Amino acid sequence: MRKPLIAGNWKMYKTSDQAVKLASGIKGSLKSFETADVVLCPAFTVLNAVYNVISDSSLQLGAQDLFWEKEGAFTGEVSPIMLKDCGCEYVIIGHSERRKYFHETDETINKKIKAALDVGLKPIVCVGETLEEREAGKTIEVIKHQLTGCFAGFNIEDMLNVTIAYEPVWAIGTGKNATALQAEEAHRFIRTFIVEKFSQGVANTIRILYGGSVKPANIKELLNEKDVDGALVGGASLEVSSFVDIVKNSI
């Protein structure tokens, strides 16, 4: 039985005061809640502030991206070691907004996953098709291509520390979530891919999250599906009540 994981992607929202308020509110509402792993992924600038709020709770910290080098002349970038230093345990890699606006590719995502694993960070790796690709009947083909590129060169041990997020691009921030059946179809394919490329053991262990307009009202139905192990939540993670209700509805 895989423990559900609910991660909040705060994107480019929240100044330090706002971030502390949000993290404190979530912590207060989820005291001694242990039925799901809960990860908060704020912007780099408030990682420390959020860590200071949640470090004495079961909430875990994640970042939204990293660069693959350990250190060096890479202006504007943040290294895996720096994220560890801020108290991060997780890092989102390959979000569709990074693929779209910052031209990330499966090759650069692959390097980032490796770099995260090297320092003991757990990557949450995002894959998913655009509306155009879905309408052209290419959903599975696209996901397969992304998974193949993102995980090229990894072994079973690496994969045991990976979480995958299936995030159909057309469902992100649109209010139009994938149906439970659409999500399950993609998740089942991802798990089968993991069996074929790695092992049944990895496939049984790895958590596959759904992301795309998750709300308190739809989380239960999504999680009822056999291969949906949690959620990566954007918009609804920015308010205490909606995020806490998603976590509470995940059991």
Phi, psi of 62 (to 5 degrees): -135, 155
Q: Does 9 bind ligand PEP (CB under 6 A)?
A: yes
Q: Does 214 bind ligand PEP (CB under 6 A)?
A: yes
| CB of residue 241 to ligand PEP, shortest distance in Å | 15
Cα-based distances in Å from 76 to 42, 79, 99, 234 = 17, 10, 18, 24
H runs (alpha helix) in 155-249:
156-159, 180-197, 200-205, 219-223, 240-248
**Which of residues 140 and 238 has its CB atom nearest to ligand PEP in the complex?**
238
Ranges within 149-168 binding ligand PEP (CB under 6 A): 167
| CB of residue 238 to ligand PEP, shortest distance in Å | 9
Q: Does 232 bind ligand PEP (CB under 6 A)?
A: yes
**Which of residues 142 and 236 has its CB atom nearest to ligand PEP in the complex?**
236
Q: Is 167 annotated as catalytic?
A: yes
Integer Cα distance of 232 and 226 in angstroms? 17
Integer Cα distance of 46 and 149 in angstroms? 31
Which amino acid does the sequence have at 31?
Answer: K
| CB of residue 70 to ligand PEP, shortest distance in Å | 27
**Which of residues 198 and 234 has its CB atom nearest to ligand PEP in the complex?**
234
Integer Cα distance of 106 and 135 in angstroms? 22
Q: Does 128 bind ligand PEP (CB under 6 A)?
A: no
Q: Is 103 annotated as catalytic?
A: no
| Count of residues touching ligand PEP (by CB under 6 A) | 13
- For the chain, strand residue ranges (E) read 5-9, 37-41, 60-63, 90-93, 122-127, 163-166, 207-211, 230-233
Assign 8 to helix, strand or coil: strand
**Which of residues 27 and 99 has its CB atom nearest to ligand PEP in the complex?**
99
Q: Does 230 bind ligand PEP (CB under 6 A)?
A: no
Of residues 23, 172, 178, 190, which one binds ligand PEP by CB under 6 A?
172
Q: Where along the sequence are the contacts to ligand PEP (CB under 6 A)?
A: 9, 167, 172-173, 211-214, 232-236
Q: Report, as residue numbers or ranges, the catalytic residues.
A: 95, 167
